[in-house]
Amino acid sequence: MNMTSLMKQRRYFFLFAALMIAASVSGQCRYCNTYEDFLNDRWIRLGAVSFEQHSKSRQAWWGGNDYSLTTGNVNVDKTLKKNAFIVMQADTLYVNCRNLRFEGTRFGNGYTKAIRIGNRSILFVNKLIGEEAQTNRQMTAFMFGAIGTAIAEGKNIQQQVCYVISYGADAKGHVNIRLIDDALMEQMMEGHDDLRDEYFSEQDDKKRMQATHIIPLLEKAGLFKAAASRPLSQD
């Protein structure tokens, strides 16, 4: 990938990332323990919450379980780390990746920014899971130094895909998620034939599934919703 293409992709990412990061620092924080609580707007109020981004190198692209949330209260922090399903600060959602699973693979600990899509689902952006993809990123950065870092950053952007949460936890406490692929986009673009055609106009299968290709189409279709399905009462 040349630097011009990399900069273009970065601009796209910054544009649609704005959908998820327009939260006020002073906004109230709340959390839900389960997906079902989220659907029914059963939020538990939090005091002041610190949102720490783990890696400054990731600021060039959006996506990944890159946030830890702390309050200074040991018991509350333990709940946020292990049990909470989702946290809302002002109008921004953060999903706990700890119990998320895609085809049996976990993302690891930490929170990722997310956005409500449709009436029952939550969308977030993360890496395309797979050991080969991770190995390629590491090897590129190692072999080519600073230039490799830029190339690896471009590959990070390329490998950012969209996942959707539409179900609650199973008997093991795992929340199984779906990758937005051709079949799911067919469903989501129902009634939007022009956007469906725009989606499939990308001939490369891998590029077609990139978040940079999918997010603008979902936005045009008007599928993104407010964080809460109804206004929250003031405490």
pLDDT score for 157: 53
Strands (E), the chain: 29-32, 44-46, 50-53, 67-70, 86-89, 92-96, 100-102, 105-106, 111-117, 121-127, 160-165, 175-176, 178-179, 224-225
For 175, the token pair is 């929340």
For 215, the token pair is 């997010």
Residue 38: pLDDT band with limits 50, 70, 90: very high
pLDDT score for 180: 96
pLDDT score for 170: 94
Mean pLDDT over 189-208 rounds to 96
pLDDT score for 158: 61
pLDDT score for 234: 56
| Domain residue limits, the chain | 3-225
Instruction: Kindly tell me if the per-residue pLDDT of 179 is higher than 70.
Output: yes
Buried b (16+ CB within 10 A) or exposed e, 206-226: eebbbbbbbbebbeebebbee
Is residue 114 within 8 Å of 94, Cβ to Cβ? yes
pLDDT score for 232: 66
pLDDT tens-digit map of 109-133: 999 999 999 989 999 999 887 544 4
pLDDT tens-digit map of 69-122: 999 999 999 999 999 999 999 889 999 999 999 988 888 899 999 999 998 999
Residue reference for tokens 């206004």: 231
Cα–Cα distance list, 118 to 160, 166, 179 (Å): 21, 10, 16
Task: Give this prediction's pTM.
Answer: 0.78
